[in-house]
Amino acid sequence: MSKKRGIVKTYRKFPLSQQPSDAAYWRKQSPQARLAALEQIRTEYHQWKYHAQPGFQRVYTIVKRK
């Protein structure tokens, strides 16, 4: 049984003059959380662009036999 990971959607309302930067948020996150978010974005992009799960392509080798 695999656990499905996802990004929890949250929001906070700020005046434009006090809006925090995205870079500051991501600097506060752990490296594991950053990689998990990156992997989630990559997976969603591949599903949107190619309508498929990303994976390894097959590699075929032709061997000449005597």
8-65 pLDDT, tens per residue?
Answer: 888 888 898 888 888 988 999 999 999 999 999 988 888 888 877 666 667 777 777 7
Domain contains 2? no
pTM higher than 0.75 for the full model?
no
Domain contains 55? yes
Total number of domains in the chain: 1
Please state, in angstroms and rounded to a whole number, the distance separating the CA atoms of residues 46 and 39.
11
- Token representation of residue 46: 């591949």
Please state, in angstroms and rounded to a whole number, the distance separating the CA atoms of residues 25 and 47.
26
The parent domain of residue 15 ranges over: 9-66
Domain contains 58? yes
Please state, in angstroms and rounded to a whole number, the distance separating the CA atoms of residues 13 and 42.
28
Domain contains 4? no
